[in-house]
Structure 1
């Protein structure tokens, strides 16, 4: 009975296929949340550009969620680049991550409809934060259970974990800010750009150091 289980733990193609499929569908659903404006009775088609311009919050929510889901896809891919095998814990934690990813289009709709309210901003930020936290838990579980590739330095594992935490921390911080100023909370999300860039550069440097050490280590 151990052989089939061992083979199952090494098979990740279906897990990744499901993940990519859910993420792709979530991204596609984002654009379906954008409604086509209707020209009011008695008005001409000349008013259409103005009606489209009034939907700026829907376009903003679409672009923001597209980029955020894209970022989480990149981070999810990074997780499974290093995971060599999995167990039931990895499977269920990955499903939790997909649960939140699939919910992002709805959260985007709430945010797009109420972008200037504390609830609209907070609800959206909490959903994105929970999505990032689930990915952080997945990485932490896999590293703690030693399911990641051998030779990956502990410093690299730690930097990776911190990078996964960046997005949840920023989004949860914006929830507090939104109670006083929803617009400022939205602008605080821009911190994700430099923070992710900093930790990505540190991660790359750490991985390169690990490779250098493994190549110079006596056989």
Structure 2
């Protein structure tokens, strides 16, 4: 079964809108795990507009499943990850002013940098993953960095699938096949939803984990968090 990691950034955004502690981020993390989610993901950004760096520290004792911290590995982020020591760190090449992730790494161009960062994380017992576009050369480039996994950036698939183009999954299938051949684990995330997750999972061999936040929280407004978490788990079987 593919693991579901719930990205809780949107809960932090809602909390920060009023400046208090409602909804309580830590309680939400406890609840989604209690409802069956096999992981919790956060993506702190330098301006801390949703997840705060202190949240990452506070969640360490709360997350008893898989704890995944995503972000651009600047010095502050690297220090945070080495302090918290999550289960997994996912490297994402976000611009400082990015609203959300909008591209994967060029693993060939940034090979030396990624190799150095990944080596440091792995020496501290932290599993590593690189956020990549569904391009075969980028999968090969990721392998050369020493990473444990890649996370396929699925926005293009989600958009095309919504238009009825099911062939949009093919580059992702091809990349997953190559990753499996290279002994790289495969994760995926971005714009995956209840509408497209089952089809995506069925077409990605050995998909280990999906990280879903925006869609899951939005769907929960209508259907309830516990119900939505279990709907995802059923589709990921």
Larger CA Rg, structure 1 vs 2: 1
Which structure features the higher share of strand residues?
A: 2
TM-score, normalised to structure 2, is: 0.24
User: Could you say which structure has the higher helix fraction?
Assistant: 1
Q: What TM-score, normalized to structure 1?
A: 0.25
